[in-house]
């Protein structure tokens, strides 16, 4: 895992994330992006595969973060990234970076 220099912002696993079905189905790479959380969501969104996420309003499923242990354990080490940060990960690859305009 690469050394990441960004503020740590805890992710309450009782809050919801947005996650695409294809992540649970094993699509790789997994993309994660964190926006500013609010009272209802952690700010995290995850999708799998090489293509950009769909504009379909049903693309992301609401999922309590605690279920990420089952759905996508690969994302767990990144949940403390601050809003504005993104990652792309597979079992053999990792890229973590700040995405302008997300925080």
- What tens digit of pLDDT does each residue of 7-58 get? 899 999 999 999 999 999 999 999 999 999 999 899 999 999 998 888 999 9
Q: Is residue 10 part of a domain?
A: no
Is 73 buried (19+), middle (13-18) or exposed (0-12) by CB count in 10 A? exposed
Cβ neighbors of 34 (< 8 A, separation 6 or more) are 9, 42, 43, 44, 45, 81, 82, 83, 84, 85, 86, 102
Give the pLDDT confidence score for residue 3 in this predicted structure: 78
Q: What confidence category does residue 99 fall into, taking pLDDT thresholds of 50, 70 and 90? A: confident
Question: Is residue 58 domain-resident?
Answer: yes
The answer to whether residue 9 is domain-embedded is no
pLDDT of residue 66: 98
Domain-located, residue 40:
yes
Please tell me the predicted confidence (pLDDT) of residue 40.
87
Count structural domains, the chain: 1
Is the pLDDT higher at 55 or at 63?
Answer: 63
Residue 102 confidence (pLDDT): 64
Whether 76 maps to a domain, the answer reads yes
Residues 72 and 45 sit within 8 Å (Cβ to Cβ): no
Q: Looking at residues 57-68, what average pLDDT do you find?
A: 96
- Give the per-residue pLDDT at 2: 66
**What is the domain extent for residue 75?**
16-98
In a domain? residue 8: no
């Amino acid at each position: 895992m690469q050394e990441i220099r960004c503020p740590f912002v805890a992710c309450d696993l009782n809050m919801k994330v947005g996650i695409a079905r294809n992540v649970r189905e094993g699509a790789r790479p997994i993309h994660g992006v964190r926006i500013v959380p609010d009272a209802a969501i952690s700010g995290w969104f995850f999708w799998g595969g090489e293509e950009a996420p769909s504009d379909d309003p049903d693309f992301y499923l609401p999922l309590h973060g605690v279920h990420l242990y089952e759905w996508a354990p690969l994302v767990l080490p990144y949940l403390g990234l601050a809003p504005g940060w993104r990652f792309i990960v597979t079992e053999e690859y990792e890229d973590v970076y700040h995405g302008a305009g997300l925080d």
